[in-house]
Amino acid sequence: MENGREIIVIVDDDSTYLTIGKSTLSEKYDVFTTSSGERLFSLLEKLSPDLILLDIRMPEMDGYEVIKRLKSSGRTRNIPVIFLTSRIDPVSEIKGLNLGAVDYITKPFSRELLLKRIDLHIMYERQRKELLKHNLNLESEIDRKTKTVLELQNTVLKTVAELVERRDNVTGGHIERTQHYLRLLIDYMIEQGSYADEVSDWDVGLLIMSSQLHDVGKISIKDSILMKPGRLSEDEFDEMRKHTTYGVDIIRRIEESTSESAFLCYAETMAGSHHERWDGRGYPHGLVGENIPLQGRLMAIIDVYDALTNDRPYKKAYTHEEAIGIIRGGYGTQFDPILCGVFLSHEDSFRNMDIDEDIFSDMHDDLRMTIEAVSDAVGERSGKEHGYVERMRRYLGILVNEMLGYDNFREAVMAWDLDLFLLSAHLHDVGNIAVADHILNKTDELSEKEFADIINHVEFGLQVIRQAKETLADGSMLHHAEMLVGNHHEKWDGSGYPRGLKGKRIPLQGRIMAIVDVYDALTTDRPHRRRKTHAAAVEAIRRGSGKQFDPDLVEVFLACEKDFKRVARKARGA
């Protein structure tokens, strides 16, 4: 970069495209042109560009050979390369991306499209260089931010677990108590040498954190069963028992997309085995004795003790002494006799609970995949098709990318951390966890009271985000999430909810999500109707311009609606 301007090199054997590219980009960037790969490498000996636009079909050395040479050199491998091509097909596109290209631009290209695509990639390159600068020169700052991210990861996971707990009408604090009890029991096991070889291989911090998801499958259990105050029927109990397998399924969705295998192994094991019994009469698999994973045998004792000593919909809390008597009665039948002995020998410690608020200080998690998996689960509970999270991310990426080409939006969007914005968007409907099943999945018109409950999902969602912000050293990391959760049902004309905001008083994040949310709702099947065509959805959004939606954003949407159509068709396998 010279004089504050990024350097772009265009490589093409067609002088027409060299001329168009240079005249289009020179106002904002320093542009150099060359007609062949060999001349490019001569030029690279004199300058270090921030971006290379590279034609594929050139004599002597084609674009594929050029990029291979670029990526083989430590000096040039990190320069972003965008291919220019007059014809594109999936095989060629995949080949170029595998070789390291960041994008394709099809010729003939419009000046406006070229400038917008270059602006976007230059913005990404600036962010990459800023991160590199931090890595090289600000190690202590990176350490601080890493700690904040880990804190955010655990906060989101904890908040989701507490939402599951709230649906179950469980006394508040179940998640924190079971984590604390688990920590105590593991400490006493280590002290007494119980299962020492197996425990020595654990990352205890990850194990404690993973325990928060032991009941995550209850997201998928109907309210009528989950909150029933009386005894469950045989069929209802069969459905309740499925929360273990539902939980494993949710965690495996995370596992498909993340390398955080240690955490996922613990989480999956705890979710799937904490209702197994030592005598083989538990569920879901009827495992016997040491065939039950040790983590599940631990949680079995902890979960029962906490359930006994706290109020539940179907019973009042037992005293500590009564709970200890019941657990003693399960020695060698319901519970592992060794673990039960450790627990009983230290039972007074469980009576006098003192939760350490720093229990998570050294724990790890994969924030992104946890949010996405939970968001998909929330979406499916609301009658939304599987893959909802991925669709929303793609739609938002398309719309925000297009916004960069508009003067009235560019500055605001470029100031955002786009990765954090797209991640935060997954939480926009998290409050739906607190809405009753019969309302979420009702197939006919909602009553006035039912619609009021639907409206309340915004407040529930805000409560989740704000609780998370209060526990974070850097609560600003959830700024986008709060804006999205609280404002995506506001309308441009002021007739939306929850606050009836009007026009530009609605935060931009909410105005963006309003369009994306409606498009996805219209083009996917829901409990109360079949999906509409892409054309019908586009027309509905067009009609909503200036009433439901920001008219300037509708203009942006209409400019890129064909990209939305491609995502929607791909999601349906069309």
**Distance, CA of 226 to CA of 96 (rounded, Å):** 51
Closest CA to 39 of 23, 18, 20, 16: 18
Q: Residue 563's domain is classified under what CATH number? A: 1.10.3210.10
126 and 154 housed in the same domain:
no
What pLDDT shows up at residue 276?
96
Residue 367 lies in a domain: no
What pLDDT shows up at residue 363?
32
110 and 169 housed in the same domain:
no
Range among 58-72, 81-95, 407-421, 472-486 rated most confident = 58-72
Q: Residue 51's domain is classified under what CATH number? A: 3.40.50.2300
172 and 321 housed in the same domain:
yes
User: Which residues touch 182 (CB under 8 Å, ≥6 apart)?
Assistant: 207, 208, 211, 298, 299, 302
DSSP bridge pairs for 46 = none
Q: Which of 114, 137, 160 is the last residue of a domain?
A: 137
**Distance, CA of 548 to CA of 125 (rounded, Å):** 36
Residue 94 lies in a domain: yes
Rounded to two decimals, the pTM is 0.44
Half-sphere exposure of 118 (CA within 13 A, CB side): 28
201 and 96 housed in the same domain:
no
131 and 176 housed in the same domain:
no
Half-sphere exposure of 218 (CA within 13 A, CB side): 23
180 and 124 housed in the same domain:
no
- Counting residues of the chain whose pLDDT is more than 70, the rounded percentage is 76
pLDDT tens for each residue of 99-128: 988 888 888 888 888 888 888 888 887 877
What pLDDT shows up at residue 148?
46
In 10 A of CB 106, how many CB atoms? 12
Structure tokens at 138: 């600000």
What pLDDT shows up at residue 364?
33
**In total, how many domains does the chain have?**
3
Residue 366 lies in a domain: no
What pLDDT shows up at residue 355?
41
63 and 168 housed in the same domain:
no
- The answer to whether residue 93 scores a pLDDT higher than 70 is yes
**For the chain, percent helix, then strand, then coil, each to nearest 5?**
60, 5, 30
Q: Which amino acid is at 480?
A: H
Where does the pLDDT of residue 512 fall: very low under 50, low under 70, confident under 90, or very high at 90 and above? very high
Which of 155 and 518 is assigned the larger pLDDT? 518
Q: Is 14 helix (H, G, I), strand (E, B) or coil?
A: coil
109 and 165 housed in the same domain:
no
pLDDT tens for each residue of 233-290: 888 888 888 989 988 887 777 666 554 455 568 888 999 999 999 999 999 999 999 9
CA distance readout (Å), 102 to 6, 84, 121, 177, 398: 17, 11, 8, 48, 16
**Distance, CA of 235 to CA of 55 (rounded, Å):** 65
Closest CA to 37 of 67, 71, 15: 67
Domain membership of residue 98 as a residue range: 7-137
pLDDT tens for each residue of 336-348: 999 999 999 988 8
CA distance readout (Å), 62 to 87, 193, 528: 14, 66, 54
